[in-house]
Amino acid sequence: MGTAIALPWLEAMSPVSIWANAGPRPPIRMAVMYAPNGKYMPRWTPAEAGALPGQLPFILQPLASLRRDVSVISGLASAMAAPTTHSPYMAAFLTGARLHNTRGDDLRLGISADQIAAARLAGQTRLSSLELGTMNSGGDADGNNSEYFNLSWRDATTPMRPILQPRVLFDRLFASPLGGGNRRGNTERRSILDFVLAEANSLRDDLGGSDRRKLDEYLASIRDIEQRIERVARLPLPARPNLTIPDQNWSNNWEEHVRIMVDLMVLAFQTDSTRICTFALRPELNSGNHPNLGFSEHHHDLSHHQRAKDFPDKYATVGQFHVAQFAYLLRRLKESREGDGTLLDHCVAVYGAGMSDGNGHDPRNLPIVLAGRGGGTFNPGRHIRLNRETPLCNLWLSVLECIGTPIDRLGDSTGRLSGL
């Protein structure tokens, strides 16, 4: 029946006369990466407001080479998240709404900022939004079910389930629904590129040098991700460590899992398949461990860092490891040329958590990083210190205005942020 793949944004797609007059304006994308269990704030917060120093605090050090592309924002608060259990923090992060009836099935929350943008941009891209993750949550000890551990909400009662597996995301982006394209078994599956390579080569002959390089890089990226997904799927399971592992959707290599998902997110932005993407690295509470960092304690246990004297160091190390995944996303966006700049220049990317100090479940002074220039709207490279109780939703109002989907109010917002 046929197979199609989206193409990156090429200069040849626009009239020469437009490019001669400084070129068309690429669309602005919104990306949100969420990390659970807060951060060890003494090793997160820059000492002074103003330009970011060359030596960043320990947790932020993966962003050192990107410090001119990011701003650290202090003082934002998620007042709607009650400081008791974990479920309100993730649910309130993009909605600014307080959970109701947390022990029943009658979910009441609010629409999230990403879904406001997705609804406003509906019809302009093939996918209105992408919601990504690496594992599900089974709920918590207080009886809250997994729906409450969702980052994105279509409305007050409808959480957006994240895509957890690279193959599912790859098929969502690239497999044709015609002819049951994403239903073929592994023995029948052929590379997506095998179906379209002839036409891609024909197109290449009609492109200029810059577009040829971009198309070649793009097709090579698709092939690389295909091969990586198939390679990981063929690897045998590693020996089971002497740890208690929750029965969840674990990857053989969590960091590689994250990075394949990030690469696919970047491809989705490159092809303008979507302009809105959220990625929860892990859900609150059920957050796993990182034996590759040299210790076996679970992240949630480490966040309650008064339990053992070495927990603050380990808690900060996990925080740094999560920031490194955001740094990888920013580098991939910055490597992709688009128009008169990079994909990162035409993006608003936010990294953050729904609480600051995990030991006290504190929803004030949240750890937030704002990256990208939003097409020239934002001026990064600084530590921006706000009043301590400034609503996080004020940031979302500013982000939504930047991407062309402005609203006047969200959750507990009091107005757009100034000075970004």
Strand partners, 371: 70, 349
Q: Is residue 283 part of a domain?
A: yes
Query: What is the per-residue pLDDT for 287?
Result: 65
Q: Give the helix/strand (H/E) hosting 147.
A: none
Look up residue 122 and give its DSSP letter.
T
pLDDT tens digit sequence for 261-294: 999 999 899 888 899 999 999 988 766 788 888 8
pLDDT tens, the chain, 420 aa long: 456 777 777 777 665 433 344 456 889 999 999 999 999 999 999 999 999 998 999 999 999 999 999 999 999 998 665 556 666 788 889 999 876 554 444 556 789 999 999 999 988 888 899 999 988 765 444 444 556 678 999 888 788 889 998 888 887 887 655 444 444 444 445 677 777 777 787 888 888 877 887 788 778 777 777 776 765 566 544 344 343 333 334 455 888 889 999 999 998 998 888 999 999 999 887 667 888 888 888 888 888 887 678 899 999 999 999 999 999 999 999 999 988 899 999 999 999 999 998 888 888 899 999 999 999 999 999 999 999 889 999 999 999 999 999 999 999 899 999 999
Dihedral angle over CA of 269, 272, 274, 277, nearest 10? 10
How many helices (H) and strands (E) in the chain?
Answer: 10, 12
Dihedral angle over CA of 290, 83, 280, 393, nearest 10? -140
Number of domains in the chain: 1
Q: Is residue 2 part of a domain?
A: no
- CA–CA distance from 285 to each of 103, 154, 187, 289, 300 (Å)? 17, 23, 39, 11, 6
Query: What is the per-residue pLDDT for 363?
Result: 87
Distance CA 244, CA 224 (A): 34
Distance CA 240, CA 291 (A): 12
Q: Which CATH number is 29's domain given?
A: 3.40.720.10
Distance CA 38, CA 266 (A): 26
Look up residue 27 and give its DSSP letter.
P
Query: What is the per-residue pLDDT for 7?
Result: 75
Query: What is the per-residue DSSP string for 284-351?
Result: SS---B-GGGT---BHHHHHSTTSSTTHHHHHHHHHHHHHHHHHHHHHHHHHSEETTEETTTTEEEEE
pLDDT tens digit sequence for 11-38: 776 654 333 444 568 899 999 999 999 9
Distance CA 14, CA 361 (A): 50
pLDDT tens digit sequence for 231-268: 556 654 434 434 333 333 445 588 888 999 999 999 89
Q: Is residue 411 part of a domain?
A: no
Query: What is the per-residue pLDDT for 186?
Result: 46
Domain range for residue 50? 11-237+244-402
Query: What is the per-residue pLDDT for 87?
Result: 65
How many Cα atoms sit within 13 Å of 312 on the Cβ side?
9
Query: What is the per-residue pLDDT for 244?
Result: 38
Q: Is residue 200 part of a domain?
A: yes
Residue indicated by tokens 């009662």: 157
Query: What is the per-residue pLDDT for 56?
Result: 97
Q: Residue 46 corresponds to which amino acid?
A: P
Q: Do the Cβ atoms of 375 and 394 come closer than 8 Å?
A: no
Tell me how long the chain is: 420
Query: What is the per-residue pLDDT for 184?
Result: 44
Q: Residue 415: which residues within 8 A CB-CB, separation 6 or more?
A: 394, 397
Q: Residue 27: which residues within 8 A CB-CB, separation 6 or more?
A: 124, 272, 275, 346
Q: Is residue 3 part of a domain?
A: no
Q: Is residue 276 part of a domain?
A: yes
Positions of E strands within 89-182: 130-133, 153-155, 158-159
Query: What is the per-residue pLDDT for 185?
Result: 44
- CA–CA distance from 210 to each of 27, 66, 77, 174, 217 (Å)? 20, 25, 45, 24, 11
Q: Is residue 6 part of a domain?
A: no
- Model confidence, pTM: 0.82
- CA–CA distance from 44 to each of 58, 63, 127, 366, 392 (Å)? 7, 12, 35, 10, 18
Q: Is residue 415 part of a domain?
A: no
Query: What is the per-residue pLDDT for 159?
Result: 86
